[in-house]
Every structure is written in structure tokens, then in C-alpha cells.
A and B are shown apart, each in its own frame.
Chain A
Amino acid sequence: GAGVSQTPSNKVTEKGKYVELRCDPISGHTALYWYRQSLGQGPEFLIYFQGTGAADDSGLPNDRFFAVRPEGSVSTLKIQRTERGDSAVYLCASSKNPGRPYNEQFFGPGTRLTVL
């Protein structure tokens, strides 16, 4: 596909369960970002990958959150022991190698996670 895709588009789970959210970036984009957008708020940075490695995970709220990108393309955001406060839209974005000049981040449609 031409753009960033994310699956599932919606995920409803129960408190305490484990969830995985998938992001398929634009082909050839080495940089991949995860953001979380709570209702009425702007997106909040979670983690950044350059290739296969997590170059910056300073936005992950706690150790229940983890993300991987084993082959430098598709990424999975994993949330353990979900809590109601984890309910949000999780956005993925990809770009060409970051640096100067700024390479635009292209966002996916997001996964809406609802924790009951």
C-alpha cells in the first residue's frame, strides 16, 4: 500500500489482558514512531525506531509497554496487563531517515484501544 497501515482499527479488551497493535510503515522508511492520543488531547510521543533498534523509548509510560521492530519494517506495540487508562488511539508514523532537512512523518489511521 501507499501509506502507513495499522491493524486492528479497533480493539476492545478487558482490564488485565494483553494486546498487540501492529504498524506497517511506508516501504523504505527507516524511521518509525509510535504516539498515543487520548480523547481531547494531541498525540503524545511513545517510542522511536531507527531500523530495528529503539533509538528513543523515553515516552513509554511504564514497563507494561514494549515495542519491537525485528526486521526494520513492521512494528508491534505490546501492552501487558492493560488498564482503563490505556484507552486511547495509538498512532504510528514513518519517515525517511530523520535529520536535516526534516523528513515528513506520515501517520497511519491509528488503532482505537478500549479497555473495559
Chain B
Amino acid sequence: EDKVVQSPLSLVVHEGDTVTLNCSYEVTNFRSLLWYKQEKKAPTFLFMLTSSGIEKKSGRLSSILDKKELFSILNITATQTGDSAVYLCAVIYGGATNKLIFGTGTLLAVQP
């Protein structure tokens, strides 16, 4: 059965800390892995990773994919209270439809 597993389920840190969020997957017909940030309802797109070992970076956020070990990490450095959200990992599967299978998410709380 296709699945995406994220850890930890939740995390509480203080402003300025660095966090690492984990995502592992077992998906047939893997195409790409995506990270989303969900603050209220609508997930917003962060990164798409297709190739192993190539880091994607946007400001304080970065992510990398390991297709041999079937996992990805999302790093956030110098965390701010505005980073508090649920971070979702998703994998594109299902041939040409681009439907997504999501993990349960990691709830990150950044305290002042």
C-alpha cells in the first residue's frame, strides 16, 4: 500500500532554533515529492523535489531528497513565530493525473 510517513508528529521550539522535519515514503510510480505549509486551511506550496541529492533552498528553508533511502528532510533555520504551522509532505503518484498522497503532517510551534 502506498504511504507517506512524517516525523515527528509535533514539535515545540523557541525562536532562533533550527528544526529538521522528516518524510519517508513507499509509493509505486514515484515521480516527485512536495512540501507544503498549512497555517489555517489552504496548504501553500514550498518545494518540489525530483532528483536525489539536490538541495532546494528558499530563504531559511531548505529541503533535500534521497531516492535510494526513500526519504526527504525539510530544514528551517533561525525559526520565527511565523513559521508555526503544519508542514505536509506529499508524493505525486497515479500516472498522468498528478494526484497527491500526503503524510499526516508535522505540527510545528515556535515560541517567542
Contacts and interface: CB of A to CB of B under 8 A. Distances in A.
A41 B96 CA distance: 25
Nearest to A98: B98
A103 B88 contact: no
Given A42-B90, A42-B103, A109-B41, A102 B97 contact: no
A25 interface: no
Nearest to B32: A102
A106 B90 CA distance: 14
B42 A33 contact: no
Contacts, number: 68
A110 B103 contact: no
A79 interface: no
Interface in A96-110: 98-99, 102-110
B94 interface: yes
B98 A95 contact: yes
B42 A107 contact: yes
Contact of B99 (A33, A106, A108, A112): A33
Interface residues of A, number: 30
A41 to B, nearest CB: 5
A43 B99 contact: no
A41 B104 contact: yes
A89 B6 CA distance: 20
A74 to B, nearest CB: 18
A43 B92 CA distance: 13
B102 interface: yes
A103 B92 CA distance: 11
Given A102-B32, A109-B41, A109-B42, A44 B102 contact: yes
Given A35-B102, A42-B104, A43-B100, 4 more contacts: A33-B100, A42-B6, A42-B90, A45-B100
